[in-house]
Structure 1
Amino acid sequence: MAPAADKKLTGLVAATFTPFTAQDEINLSEIGPYIDYLKEKQGVNSLFVNGTTGESMSLSVAERKILAEEWCLKAKGKIDQVIVHVGCMSLKDSQELARHAAQIGADGIAVISPSFYKPSTADALRTFLHEVASVAPTMPFYYYHIPAVTGVDVLGRDVLEGIEELIPSFSGVKFSGSDLMDFGQCVSYSQPHWSCLYGLDEQLLAALAMGAHGAVGSTYNYMGCHINKLIAAFEKGDLVQARTIQFKMQELFTYAKKLGFDLGVNKQMMNELSGLSLGPPRLPVMPCPRSQAQAIVQKYHSHFPRY
């Protein structure tokens, strides 16, 4: 079942952080202001919730349901699309979350490969994805490819081979890998109604040149307004301007990585830049000393003008 043309997922998609209280409980009260910030300050109109940035693998199934429901509820009338990541180590948990996403009116679901008992072939992974999709057959379905995290050494292009025959609702891939040849082959194989979304923020321009339809990333939570300018410059053919923005972002990342850039640092940067209270990450991810995040934020402001 191909989605309507006007529902094709394009442009910037924020991979959202999960708000926690200081007591390590999910904090639903921040989701409404968070959505307003993304739309009004960053120009981001689509969300990818409960993914890697959202610490989904550290959340219980019950927590993921509560979060997905709140994101969909608060986004209604404000955000174009909310894609809910439902991938789990357990097939049954993934199916439960997929059914739930369909019930709450999500705009699509995405699934990562299991990473403890790993599928050894593209066929095994496709079969797992099919079993999840089958319980929510009308939901646009996205494969979430992130081999550096899953350790699953299967090409994205191989996973896409014949996938629409197994999953008629298949709508695209979130490709969070550095292999641009593999990504290019995914774009080349892509059907007109699919979305090939790139997930390494620091290489977005290269992916756009390969034909990416959009991008999903954590830094678009606080850099979306600048990356929208990169995309606009690329679409106008102004590669000098597009490269200038991409190179500034890469310089910021290089600086941040020297200070130990990880999810904890990234989340604290979002707190500092947005004024939201998203709290610390959940263990085993360690919280970031505020001074460390502030040093990166200072570098950010030296590279990018304040809005």
Structure 2
Amino acid sequence: MRLEKFHGIIPAFYACYDDQGDISEARTKDLCDYLYEKQVQGVYVGGSSGECIYQSLDERKAVLSYVANQLKGKMTLIAHVGAPSTRDSIELAKHAAALGYDALSAIPPIYFKLPDRAVYKYWSDIIEATPLDFIIYNIPQTTGYTLTPSLFEKLLTNKKVIGVKNSSMPTMDIERFKKVGGDNVIVFNGPDEQYVAGRIMGADGGIGGTYGAMPELFLQANVFIQQGKFEEAKLIQSDINDIIIALCSLNGSMYAVIKEVLKRRGVNIGSVRGPLEGISSEDEGQIDNIMKMIDQAINRFCK
């Protein structure tokens, strides 16, 4: 029962800015309401999709507060608290715990290449700072650090460590982490492009950066997997992948394109913060095509 609330579809929450590029409480609430209406399992707040590395500590704390005020008690809340320093990570962790989040998560330390013992201590110091459950975040393609099954096994000796958000591309990594942890550990599929494959290889749910652009499709993919309809799941994954490729093919960053899609759906959460690139005039027409792709897939699989 303790882990069931982490199963299912958990969108990575987007940074919500006003027209001047500052954190917007009102727009954060709008995104909360939008995702709640879509009936997703929860939200992962303050990670890559939340543009955490481009925000100050106070801004990140504010976002955690705004989301908790709107969604606490309504869905599962996971706070990503990874920061350049252990001190800042612990401050964010304590803030999230005070707000009533269900769990914490953190990437490994970035920039300096650190040995396993330093990474282990970093995660352990965050874990011990609060009574909350903790989810390791493995994303080697951006952090330069690869979580090994042996270090994961060592971290699992702490009972507050309940799982891993695995965003490495090989689905074998999901199988390996699940084998180490077994049924008492949650493994989240990270790469949206392999959601179905990750689930079949043992992932219990998913946390993803494109879920918010097309929650209906990921929710339906989850249903297909639960029903054992793997052929249908493969087909919906193919459509999802076509959409993801389109989202990543424009001048603006993927997150800027997703935010424009949401804006045209009536959920204006601003653009992205530099050095991420906003959409260009050349992107405008292509975004209409992406929205058509999403709508066509929803009509195909979700009606």
Give the TM-score normalised by structure 2.
0.92
CA drift of 1:7 comes to: 5.0
For 1:188 and 1:6, the matched residues in 2 are separated by 17
C-alpha distance in 1 between matches for 2:111 and 2:105: 18
What CA distance in whole angstroms lies between the structure 2 residues aligned with 1:174 and 1:241? 25
Q: 1:85 maps to what in 2?
A: 80
User: Does residue 259 of structure 1 match 2:254?
Assistant: no
Q: CA contact under 8 A between 2:247 and 2:258: conserved in structure 1?
A: no
Give SS of 1:287's match: coil
- Distance in 2 (CA, whole Å) between partners of 1:209 and 1:158 is 23
Instruction: Give CA-to-partner distance per residue, 1:282-303, whole Å, 9 cap, x none.
Output: 1111111360433322332333
Aligned-pair CA distance for 1:77:
3.4
Instruction: Look up the match of 1:151.
Output: 144
**Could you say what secondary structure the match of 1:168 adopts?**
coil
Residues 64-103 of structure 1, C-alpha deviation per residue, up to 9 Å, x if partnerless? 1111011111102322x11000000111100111111111
| Residues 262-277 of structure 1 aligned to structure 2 (within 5 Å) | 262-272=254-264, 274-277=265-268
Match of residue 296 from structure 2: 302
1-structure distance, mates of 2:67, 2:270: 17
Match of 2:156 in 1: 164
CA distance in structure 2 between the partners assigned to 1:25 and 1:56 by the alignment:
13
Contact 1:108 1:140 in 2 (8 A): yes
User: What does residue 217 of structure 1 align with?
Assistant: 208
CA contact (8 A) 2:72 2:101 kept: no
Are 1:85 and 1:110, in contact at CA under 8 Å, matched by a contact in 2? yes
Deviations 1:170-228 (A, max 9, x none): 11111111021122100111143321001111101111111110000122113221221
- Structure 2 residue aligned with 1:139: 132
The whole-number CA distance in structure 2 between the counterparts of 1:5 and 1:14 is 20
SS at match of 1:258: coil
| CA distance 1:16–1:156, change in 2 (3 Å) | farther
Q: 1:106 maps to which residue?
A: 101
Unmatched tracts of structure 2, length 5 or more:
none
SS in 2 for 1:285: coil
Identity over aligned pairs, percent: 27
Q: Identify the match of residue 195 of structure 2 among 190, 193, 204.
A: 204
Q: Secondary structure at the match of 2:87?
A: helix
Counterpart of 1:267 in structure 2: which amino acid? K
- Whether 1:236 and 2:231 are equivalent positions in the alignment is no
- Equivalent pair of 2:15/2:23 in contact (CA under 8 Å): yes
The letter for the 2-side match of 1:199 is G
Q: Would you say 1:25 and 2:22 are equivalent positions?
A: yes
**Structure 1, unaligned stretches of length 5 or more?**
none
The Cα shift of 1:168 comes to: 2.8
Q: Which residue of 2 aligns with 1:76?
A: 72
CA distance in structure 1 between the aligned counterparts of 2:5 and 2:74, rounded to whole angstroms: 17
Q: Aligned partner of 1:162: which letter? A: K
Which residue identity lines up with residue 151 of structure 1 in the other structure? Answer: G
Aligned equivalent of 1:119: 114
Q: 2:178, 2:185 within 8 Å by CA — same for their partners in 1?
A: no
**2: distance between equivalents of 1:6 and 1:55?**
27
CA distance in 2, matches of 1:120, 1:220: 33
Number of aligned residue pairs: give it.
297
How has the CA–CA distance of structure 1 residues 158 and 267 changed in structure 2, closer, same or farther, with 3 Å as cutoff?
Answer: farther
